[in-house]
Amino acid sequence: MNDKHIVSSYDRDLEGLLAHIMKMGGLVEDAILRAARSLETRDEELAEEVRRGDKAIDDLEELIDEEAAQVIARRAPAASDLRTVLSILKIASNLERIGDYAKNMAKRTGVLAQMSPVSDSAAALRRMAREVERMLKDALDAYVRRDVDLACDVIRRDEEVDQMYNALFREFLTFMMEDPRNITPCMHLHFIAKNTERMGDHVTAIAEQAVYLVTGERPSELRVKADVTSETT
């Protein structure tokens, strides 16, 4: 009876951690979409809401860190259970970084709102952000459902995000060469595009944790990183 109580209590601890992760993931998904929308619509008030909302994401990561440490200290979990706790910690860290990138996108919205729009770049960035948000939702679903196939699909889809980034990078170079007045806004837009591409990398890391949780192994190389901007001179 005592052992059953201990197991039940431990299960509740894990469920609590998972609930925090899903709440944190929902906040991050919302931050990505709202930051991208504020950029496209030049809505500085919405951008400020995204910036303020980042504190809730940071607070959740801190809470997860504290509760996970308590679980490890109190329960001394066995290998498979320890893997679950450690994967939750890593996912929380990745979510926090994605939230930071969304906040940084929102920060640049205020600056770009004072400048003339550059083509439909903001709309293209919003499409890229929406793809990252969909990937994040699927990565978290894969983790909860322990769905290795879905997790691997997310990992493969990051190549599409890389390709979108590469296309935008070349587009910004063209705009800057055509008109020097485009240099400053394009630099800001490029930073946003690069940050969005990095969001995709962190989402991929979350999907890899889903694979690791089920198999105990890191996923094999499912893609070739498609960021070719380092080749551009």
What pLDDT score was predicted for residue 215?
87
Neighbouring residues of 139: CB distance < 8 A, sequence distance ≥ 6: 151, 154, 203, 204, 206, 207, 210
The count of other CB atoms within 10 Å of the CB of residue 122 is 21
What pLDDT score was predicted for residue 1?
39
What pLDDT score was predicted for residue 119?
84
What pLDDT score was predicted for residue 82?
85
CA–CA separation, 108 vs 50, rounded Å? 12
What pLDDT score was predicted for residue 55?
97
Mean pLDDT by 10 residues, the chain (233 residues): 52 90 98 96 96 97 95 80 90 98 94 88 94 98 96 96 96 94 95 97 97 82 51 40
Domain, as residue range, for 118? 2-231
What pLDDT score was predicted for residue 232?
41
CA–CA separation, 231 vs 213, rounded Å? 36
Based on the structure, what is the number of domains in the chain? 1
Question: Which CATH number characterizes residue 147's domain?
Answer: 1.20.58.220
